[in-house]
Amino acid sequence: MGDMSKMEVKTSLLDNMIGVGDMVLLEPLTEKSFIENLRKRFNHNEIYTYIGSVVISINPYRSLPIYTPDKVEEYRNRNFYELSPHIYALADEAYRSLRDQDKDQCILITGESGAGKTEASKLVMSYVAAVCGKGAEVNQVKEQLLQSNPVLEAFGNAKTVRNDNSSRFGKYMDIEFDFKGDPLGGVISNYLLEKSRVVKQPRGERNFHIFYQLLSGASEDMLKKLKLERDFSKYNYLSLDSATVTGVDDASCFRTVKNAMQIVGFMDDETQSVLELVGAVLKLGNIEFKPESRVNEVDESRVKDKNELKEICELLGIDQSVLERAFSFRTVEAKQEKVSTTLNVAQAYYARDALAKNLYSRLFTWLVNRINESIKAQTKKRKKVMGVLDIYGFEIFESGENSFEQFIINYCNEKLQQIFIELTLKEEQEEYIREGIEWTHIEYFNNSVICDLIENNTNGIMAMLDEECLRPGTVTDSTFLEKLNQICADHQHFESRMSKSSKFLNDHSLPHNCFRIQHYAGKVLYHVDGFVDKNNDLLYRDLSQAMWKANHSLIKSLFPDGNPAKINLKRPPTAGSQFKASVATLMKNLQTKNPNYIRCIKPNDQKASHIFTDSLVCHQVRYLGLMENVRVRRAGYAFRQPYEACLERYKMLCKQTWPHWRGQARDGVEVLLKDLQIPAEEYSYGRSKIFIRNPRTLFSLEEQRKRRLHGLATLIQKIFRGWKARTHFLLMKSSQVTVAAWYRRYAQQKKYKKTKSSAVIVQSFIRGWKARKILRELKYQKRCKEAVTTIGAYWHGTQARRELRCLKEEARNRRAVTVIWASWQGTKARRELKRLKEEARCKHAVDVIWAYWLGLKVRREYRKFFRAHAGKRIYEFTIQRIIQKYFLELKNKMPSMSPCDKTWPARPYLFLDSTHKELRRIFHLWTCKKYRGQFTDQKKAIYKEKLEASEIFKDKKALYPSSVGQPFQGDYLEINKNPRYQKLNSLVEEKIIFADIVNKINRANGKGAQRIFLLTKNKFMLADQKSGHQVKSIVPLAELTSVSMSAQSDGFFALRVKEGTTAAAKGDFLLNSERIIEIITKLHRAGLDLTKEKIQIEITDEFLVQFKQDKVCVKFIQSNPKNGTMASCKRKNNRLLEVTVPSP
Ligand SMILES: Nc1ncnc2c1ncn2[C@@H]1O[C@H](COP(=O)(O)OP(=O)(O)O)[C@@H](O)[C@H]1O
Ligand SMILES: [Mg+2]
């Protein structure tokens, strides 16, 4: 990699050169060869060519791919002559010498209109912007600097015949950098805006871009605000024949400009003010005047259509009458005197145009200042400066229409040429001195005589013109020419028909109203028409005062001279003297800087790519003084190169220096040149560079080098091939050795392994045999040892058993003795015990007999003291006392009076057992009697009824237990009290035993209907519940045969009627009531009372019921409670009614 980059450094301008890249090397140097070289390069898209460090640029009129970021990188930090000529090389050189050597730079771009100056200046700026520092702040500065261009171009550029985007002002821009080379800001100076364009444009040209951009690009709203119309043809100041430029979209340009203004830092209201002024200028052109005769025969002009005037005044905030008066009168003030004269129509138009031009040019100057304010460097620290000058080059109109402007421009170019020559020579000379080369005088044309002709303060053309302008009395352009003819006639560069020298008297190419100057670049014929006027640049004071009075801050600030308080009776400086002063400042400025030149050339007049018009180029080459330039450059030595670079490039041409020179580069070059036998006068040794006088020498060196390079290439190839073959062979050889070695090793290894394994097998056999032999021996020994042990063991065993037997015998004998002894002892003991028992019984018998005897004796003794039967009486007394005590205790321990209380005190004596039980029974009966005694007859009847119910239902019907606690009320409906049942009550004569609502089951579907059930002592009745009195059936109790019901907890029951009775016609009744227990009990009771016969009560889960003709079976089944907690009845078929009872 390191080598690669080193090789890159060695590239040179001389490589792959088309034509010659540096005109200094042109051989032979003639105008023809010069142009031929340019053409050749141009045809190969090489638009840049050097003259030493000057860059000639030919406008390609199409975009070339040579401005890419890659190119920027390529040229960055490279030496000037290393790569093919490019504007970037110049920009890089300038930037680096600014940054690294701290030299302020200026880049002077000259050339005629359309030659590519403005483009070149932009390329330089963009290159510098690309290579200089980065960062947010720096980028903003860069952006502002770059964006100042579109703004200035919109206001200062116009389409001309030569250039669609021609700058109509000179521009010099200082870009300021800090010590690191980062941009800080800039200052722009503008020179001589071509303001006459505002009011009039030559054929095929346009006014300044901004007018068209505004009209095309502004919104309807904005146009309305500015009182403008979109149509270009509405404005006199806009020429119509080229209103639009092909390939340019004015509307989008307008947006770009507005955006650029914003970026540069214009406030919205500032932009608005600027556009108002532009609009006002446009509208000024539409004001027209008409003559109006006055008494003293003088034509006075009047504004024709006041509408436009009115609108302008509204737009700019000017009092209409003031402006109107300013267009009609002119006030001249001289020494406290004020004279007011009327203006005629022509003067009025002149005044109008002067106003428009002044407005516009002052606006332009204001814009430049405003931009400067924005891009001004924000630091007071020392800055390095790079100036870029883009000013129109020499202008020569062949038609001879050269006027004041051309004169001024050419003067400026003359000055630039002067400092160019000065600086180039200076630089050249400095280099010679630096390098210690003898300086030989160079013959060249010094144009200072021409500059003097123009700018000399006493008798220069400009001074003369000023004098004429200030002179009282009638002054015209011809008086000016006359004066010139007098004063300058002798000057060798001035030509005039009327000059005193007779040589031009018959020169018909020189008209009478013209003069001609021999500029360094050629002769130029100037028409004197308009010189005086243009130099005067007069704006009537009335107009500037009118402007100053405007209620518009921008306009007011543009016309400070209109302020009556600061009235200045002295004439303002003339245009010429102003320009001269600013050129002088510029020159002074440039002289302090290191110059870099870009000379732009236009290849054709058609703005076409690929066309190279020799005559046109020739003309430019001449007036740019390029030949002069080359001559100056090679006056001494055409080519110079540092020793190192020279040696590096040509060292292959000499044996001593090839391939390496070990010593000073200078000595190497010396050896080399001597070896090549180059004549000594052809070169000279500087301190660090070799100077070559003639390009021919260089090219012969180049030629030899090329040839030698071919030879070297073959040599290198040869050596390389040999080296490659040998390397290959060596590689093969060493590979073979390696392979053989590896194979041998492998074979030996294999053989060795085989031998080794055989040895191991033999060895193992022998070892095995040996081992077995030893084993056998060992086994025999072991067996012998074991036999001994076994025999020993047997012998010991026999001995031990024998011993044991002896011991056992002994033990058995000892035990027999013990047993015998023990039984003997036992016998002895039992015998003793028997004896002792006998003895004790005898003793007891003696005691008892003794006691009896004593008793008998006592009883015999005391019998005589007692009466007969006393014992019986004592006994009875004792018994009585015990019974007494028993009753008293019983009285205290009596249980409660409740018949349910079953408690009774415990029995104290066994003989009182029967008494105790009897007493308990009596007590119980007594408490029961007492309890019964509390009952009334009514209560008795209720209990009787309850008793009866119990007899009938207890343990038979599941519903019964729940009815025990409920008292039987009988009349639940309170028939004789409730007024609802009054009528029903009156139908029943007897006493009502029972009355309640029951459900009568419908035979058809098993559903129930509510009925009033009434029971008296000899019948029961069913009445309609709804009406409360309609009796449905009456059944005498005598006709009731039986009652049927289930054993479940339901309330269904059937009442059967004796067959053949009236009641039987309807059939049996199937009813449902919660109070079934009470109803049946009462029915039973009433039936018994009436007939002394019991009504049959059937409790079964399945019974038959007679309905009219047919019998229906009623069946009770138990089911889950999900059917409800109530029993329900359903007709299953015409023989079966099913009652579902919830299972308990
Ligand atoms: N280097 C270039 N590459 C491509 N086109 C160019 C180049 N220089 C100039 N031009 C073309 O030529 C036209 C005129 O160039 P410009 O710089 O405005 O001329 P000048 O400023 O000298 O009057 C440009 O609008 C552009 O179309
Ligand atoms: Mg330009």
> Does residue 162's CB lie within 6 angstroms of at least one atom of ligand 1?
no
Q: What one-character DSSP code corresponds to residue 197?
A: G
Encoding tokens for residue 739?
């392979």
Encoding tokens for residue 786?
């074991």
- At residue 73 the predicted structure's pLDDT band, cuts being 50, 70 and 90, is very high
Element holding 686 (H helix, E strand): none
Give the per-residue pLDDT at 711. Answer: 86
Element holding 510 (H helix, E strand): none
DSSP string, 318-334: --HHHHHHHTTEEEEEE
Q: Is the dihedral of CA 224, 225, 229, 232 positive or negative?
A: negative
Q: Are the C-beta atoms of 237 and 357 separated by less than 8 Å?
A: no
CA distance linking residue 705 with residue 641, whole number of Å: 16
What's the gap in Å between 487 CA and the centre of ligand 2? Answer: 36
For residue 289, list its beta bridge partners.
Answer: 303
The pairing of beta strand 594-601 with beta strand 105-110: parallel
CA distance linking residue 893 with residue 904, whole number of Å: 8
3-state secondary structure of 177: strand
Those residues whose C-beta lies under 8 Å from the C-beta of residue 1043, and which sit 6 or more positions away, are 1053, 1054, 1055, 1056, 1080, 1083, 1084, 1095, 1096, 1097, 1098
Atom of ligand 1 nearest to the CA of 117: 22
Q: How many CA atoms lie within 13 A of 483 on its CB side?
A: 21
Those residues whose C-beta lies under 8 Å from the C-beta of residue 1048, and which sit 6 or more positions away, are 957, 958, 959, 1101, 1116, 1118, 1127, 1141
Give the per-residue pLDDT at 502. Answer: 61
Give the per-residue pLDDT at 1122. Answer: 60
- At residue 9 the predicted structure's pLDDT band, cuts being 50, 70 and 90, is very low
The pairing of beta strand 1019-1024 with beta strand 1008-1015: antiparallel
3-state secondary structure of 611: coil
| 1116-to-429, 1046, 1068, 1096 alpha-carbon distances in Å | 147, 7, 18, 20
Name the phi and psi angles at 404, rounded to 5.
-55, -45
CA distance linking residue 799 with residue 787, whole number of Å: 19
> Does residue 395's CB lie within 6 angstroms of at least one atom of ligand 1?
no
- Among all bound ligands, the one having the nearest atom to the CA of 62 is 1
Atom of ligand 1 nearest to the CA of 607: 12
What's the gap in Å between 938 CA and the centre of ligand 2? Answer: 144
Q: Which residue has the higher pLDDT, 2 or 941?
A: 941
Give 790-840 pLDDT, tens digit per residue.
999 999 999 999 999 999 999 999 999 999 999 999 999 999 999 999 999
Residue 1037 CB coordination number (10 Å): 19
Give the per-residue pLDDT at 569. Answer: 65
By the 10 Å C-beta count (0-12 exposed, 13-18 middle, 19+ buried), 71 is classed as middle
> Does residue 163's CB lie within 6 angstroms of at least one atom of ligand 1?
yes
Encoding tokens for residue 31?
């105008």
For ligand 1, mutation pick of 42, 59, 153 (most atoms within 8 Å of CB): 59
Give the per-residue pLDDT at 389. Answer: 93
What's the gap in Å between 627 CA and the centre of ligand 2? Answer: 24
3-state secondary structure of 971: strand
By the 10 Å C-beta count (0-12 exposed, 13-18 middle, 19+ buried), 349 is classed as middle
- At residue 4 the predicted structure's pLDDT band, cuts being 50, 70 and 90, is very low
- For residues 918, 921, 922, 923, the Cα torsion angle rounded to the nearest 10 degrees is 120
Encoding tokens for residue 870?
């006393």
Angle at alpha carbon of residue 414, lines to 413 and 415, rounded to 5°? 90
Give 888-909 pLDDT, tens digit per residue.
988 888 888 888 888 888 888 8
Q: What one-character DSSP code corresponds to residue 410?
A: H
Atom of ligand 1 nearest to the CA of 163: 14
CA distance linking residue 1130 with residue 866, whole number of Å: 99
Q: How many CA atoms lie within 13 A of 138 on its CB side?
A: 14
Element holding 934 (H helix, E strand): none
Model confidence, pTM: 0.62
> Does residue 686's CB lie within 6 angstroms of at least one atom of ligand 1?
no
Encoding tokens for residue 606?
């058609």
CA distance linking residue 1046 with residue 1051, whole number of Å: 8
For residue 1139, list its beta bridge partners.
Answer: 1116, 1129
Q: 1-10, 411-420, 769-778, 945-954: which range is least confident on average?
A: 1-10
Give the per-residue pLDDT at 32. Answer: 94
Q: 330-344, 553-567, 892-906: which range is least confident on average?
A: 330-344
Ligand 2 is an ion; residues with CB less than 5 A from it: 117-118, 167
- Chain Cα centroid distance, residue 950: 96
What would the 3-class secondary structure string for 1090-1115 be?
Answer: HHCCCCEEEECCEEEEEECCEEEEEE
- At residue 296 the predicted structure's pLDDT band, cuts being 50, 70 and 90, is low
3-state secondary structure of 339: strand
- Among all bound ligands, the one having the nearest atom to the CA of 117 is 1
CA distance linking residue 672 with residue 661, whole number of Å: 10
Please give the average per-residue pLDDT across 129-146, as a whole number: 88
Give the per-residue pLDDT at 8. Answer: 41
Q: Is the pLDDT of residue 1124 over 70?
A: no
Encoding tokens for residue 649?
């490039």
Q: How many CA atoms lie within 13 A of 84 on its CB side?
A: 14
For ligand 1, mutation pick of 61, 191, 248, 610 (most atoms within 8 Å of CB): 61
Q: Is the pLDDT of residue 511 over 70?
A: yes
Provide the b/e sequence for 225-247 (b: ≥16 CB within 10 Å): ebbbeeebeebebbbeebbeeee
The radius of gyration of the chain's CA atoms, rounded to the nearest angstrom, is: 77
Q: Is the pLDDT of residue 681 over 90?
A: no
Name the phi and psi angles at 966, rounded to 5.
-90, 125
> Does residue 60's CB lie within 6 angstroms of at least one atom of ligand 1?
yes
Q: Are the C-beta atoms of 167 and 156 separated by less than 8 Å?
A: yes
Q: What is the rounded average pLDDT for all residues in the chain?
A: 87
Give the per-residue pLDDT at 866. Answer: 66
Q: Are the C-beta atoms of 1022 and 1064 separated by less than 8 Å?
A: no
- Biggest CA-to-CA distance, the chain: 231
- For residues 986, 992, 997, 1003, the Cα torsion angle rounded to the nearest 10 degrees is -90
Give the per-residue pLDDT at 39. Answer: 95
Atom of ligand 1 nearest to the CA of 157: 18
Q: How many residues does the chain have?
A: 1144
Q: Whole-angstrom distance between the N-terminal and C-terminal Cα of the chain?
A: 109
Query: Tokens 């027209």 correspond to what residue?
Result: 288
Q: Are the C-beta atoms of 923 and 931 separated by less than 8 Å?
A: no
- Chain Cα centroid distance, residue 787: 103
Those residues whose C-beta lies under 8 Å from the C-beta of residue 48, and which sit 6 or more positions away, are 55, 56, 57, 58, 84, 85, 86, 87
Q: Are the C-beta atoms of 340 and 328 separated by less than 8 Å?
A: no
H helices present in 571-655, as ranges: 575-591, 614-623, 626-633, 643-650
Peptide bond into 85 cis (omega under 30): no
Give the per-residue pLDDT at 710. Answer: 86
Query: Tokens 């045999």 correspond to what residue?
Result: 769
> Does residue 149's CB lie within 6 angstroms of at least one atom of ligand 1?
no
- For residues 908, 911, 912, 918, the Cα torsion angle rounded to the nearest 10 degrees is 140
Give the per-residue pLDDT at 82. Answer: 79
Q: Are the C-beta atoms of 1078 and 1053 separated by less than 8 Å?
A: no
Rounded to the nearest 10 degrees, the angle between the axes of helix 404-435 and helix 575-591 is 10
What's the gap in Å between 116 CA and the centre of ligand 1? Answer: 4
Give 79-110 pLDDT, tens digit per residue.
787 789 999 999 999 999 899 888 899 999 98
> Does residue 166's CB lie within 6 angstroms of at least one atom of ligand 1?
yes
Q: Is the pLDDT of residue 912 over 90?
A: no
Q: Is the pLDDT of residue 753 over 90?
A: yes
Give all strands of the β-sheet with 1110-1119 in edge-to-edge order.
1102-1107, 1110-1119, 1136-1142, 1128-1133
Peptide bond into 595 cis (omega under 30): no
What's the gap in Å between 122 CA and the centre of ligand 1? Answer: 10
Give 645-670 pLDDT, tens digit per residue.
888 888 888 888 887 888 888 898 88
- Mean pLDDT is highest, among 742-756, 885-899, 1009-1023, for 742-756
Give the per-residue pLDDT at 7. Answer: 39
For ligand 1, mutation pick of 153, 163, 624 (most atoms within 8 Å of CB): 163
Q: Is the pLDDT of residue 423 over 60?
A: yes
Provide the b/e sequence for 758-769 (b: ≥16 CB within 10 Å): eeeeeeeeeeee
- Mean pLDDT is highest, among 32-46, 109-123, 480-494, 537-551, for 32-46
Q: Are the C-beta atoms of 612 and 43 separated by less than 8 Å?
A: yes
| 363-to-114, 163, 273, 359, 901 alpha-carbon distances in Å | 25, 24, 10, 6, 136
Closest CA to 898 of 934, 872, 866: 934
| 1060-to-963, 1064, 1067 alpha-carbon distances in Å | 35, 6, 10
Give the per-residue pLDDT at 672. Answer: 87
* Percent residues over pLDDT 70 in the chain: 96
Q: How many CA atoms lie within 13 A of 459 on its CB side?
A: 11
